[in-house]
Structure 1
């Protein structure tokens, strides 16, 4: 399924995934850029960015064997509500960096806040968990089913 088709689905868990991936990349980059000026918030931004990417890329979980502790910690984040809570915490910390003069980290705070909002909407609407096929996820519809004729391919 093409990226534009995925965006047309109206599934906020998919929007949340894309925004969380963007947030993860931004947090890593911005954390590295501001490392000297804001060491603690930069380290937190990098850690949050890595966690966002681990949570949101299903292919990572398939490629690397994990232990029971890791599965307990990240396994609970498969639920929309838990992802919403995790991203709200990440966003709150990044917004708090502004009080310490972490100006550019606000970009990461905005994207994480938007990702949390998407997961909140998905949870409230009780939408099913959907992940993009671009990163090894389930996709919106099965690849083995032709929706034009409604017959298996």
Structure 2
């Protein structure tokens, strides 16, 4: 299945996964950009950076095969294999970044918005009863099994 066919499938988990890739990029970039504030917002930027690294392993399953990680970390990441669990983790990450507004309004709001959109896509996939379908481009369904 090509990337265009994946988007035409109308499976919200595909949309959520690609929005998740955008979240990884945004969380990493905005986490670094906001870490230089001399304010409590540093805590939220560090949390945003940690979220980016967690999301890399959640959204790109191929990395669990090729990166040396512990069994505990692998089990933690594998908990997020369903649409509802992914919606939950994105929702929690978004909520944390929204709480950063209490401290100071920064560009981390963009990360909070995109994390919320990804959570909504995964929640819609769960509500519609769609099975989680990982993108083949990102190492899902067959690609990760070929690398042993």
User: For the superposition of Structure 1 and Structure 2, which TM-score range results when normalised by the shorter chain?
Assistant: 0.7 to 0.9
TM-score (ref. length: structure 2): 0.87
**Using the alignment, how far apart are the partners of 1:67 and 1:74 within structure 2?**
11
| 2:141 is the counterpart of 1:138 | yes
TM-score (ref. length: structure 1): 0.85
5+ residue gaps, structure 1, are: 140-153
Q: Which runs of 4+ in 1 moved over 6 A?
A: none
Greater radius of gyration (CA): 1
**Using the alignment, how far apart are the partners of 1:63 and 1:76 within structure 2?**
19
5+ residue gaps, structure 2, are: 143-148
The size of the alignment, in residue pairs, is: 139
Matches within 5 A, 1:142-153: none
* Residue 53 of structure 1: aligned partner: 56
Deviates more, 1:81-90 or 1:129-138: 129-138
* Residue 2 of structure 1: aligned partner: 2
- Whichever structure has more helix as a proportion of its residues is 2
SS of the equivalent of 2:131 reads: coil
**Structure 1 residue 31: deviation in Å?**
0.5
**Using the alignment, how far apart are the partners of 1:66 and 1:43 within structure 2?**
21
